[in-house]
Amino acid sequence: MHTIFNREDHLADRVNKFLVNQLHLPDADYTNDLSLLSLLELKSILSCINNLITLKLTFGLADWICDTYELDDSIRDNLRRSILRTKPNANGFDLYLGLPIAFVAEVKCNVPVNGGSKYEANQKRSILADVESLLSGKRKASLMSQKVLKFLCFLDIPQVRDANAHLLKTTPDLVKKLRFVDPGRRPRSLSYVHGVYVTMTPNQSSQSTALP
């Protein structure tokens, strides 16, 4: 017998399975117990989740830069403090440094929707906009980027790598502006954006970094 698709059941099932599997809750229809206001509040929490992922990925990028350019622990701690002090969605670049090396960086948490291998239109536009901002600078940024290293950081998972490969293949002009760093290489060119893949680990957090 053919099962008739029910949109409400489908959406509720996805939410309930996530809550049960990830939070180890008993099986139940949690969406049925949530009011409209509660659902709206849950929706607003999603932006906090995205900001938390961005935060952890920014810590990972800071570690990658410090490891790649052999920067000492005091620089690493200063970068971490800077990350923690920056408010979500603040103007300017996600990460920057003036000395001993000068760089600006943006962090992208874009993941292809539904486990695919291509970015949707809004995701593509966001990446292209960040590339242009890194090359041209931001009006309210602490550093302009013409004479500094420029990095665009992505989450290192197969879907993102596939989506970036498709983006470069289908956007011919982009290959002149964004080039991904080969493992073990230390980028030096200031003329284009260096794409970096970072793997998030439990250690990529503030941990013992104290404020101030």
161: in domain: yes
DSSP 24: T
13: in domain: no
Alpha-carbon distance 45 to 42, whole Å?
5
Contact 151, 65 (CB under 8 A): yes
177: in domain: yes
Residues 6+ apart with CB under 8 A from 48: 88
44: in domain: no
204: in domain: no
Q: Which domain holds residue 125?
A: 50-198
Helix H segments across 88-205? 121-136, 158-170
Residues in the chain: 212
How many structural domains are present in the chain? 1
73: in domain: yes
CA dihedral 72, 75, 80, 84 (to 10 degrees): 170
- Summarize pLDDT for 54-106 with one digit per residue, the tens: 999 999 999 999 999 999 999 999 999 999 998 877 778 999 999 999 999 99
pTM above 0.75, yes or no: yes
- Summarize pLDDT for 141-150 with one digit per residue, the tens: 545 556 899 9
102: in domain: yes
Cross-strand pairs, 96: 104
Please report, in tens digits, the pLDDT of each residue of the chain (212 residues total).
677 889 999 999 999 999 899 999 999 999 988 899 998 898 888 878 888 999 999 999 999 999 999 999 999 999 999 999 988 777 789 999 999 999 999 999 989 987 789 999 999 999 999 999 999 887 655 455 568 999 999 999 999 999 999 999 999 999 999 999 999 899 999 999 999 999 876 655 555 455 55
Which of 192, 104, 203 lies closest to 144 in space, CA to CA? 104
Q: In what order do the strands lie in the sheet with 178-180?
A: 95-97, 103-108, 149-155, 193-198, 178-180
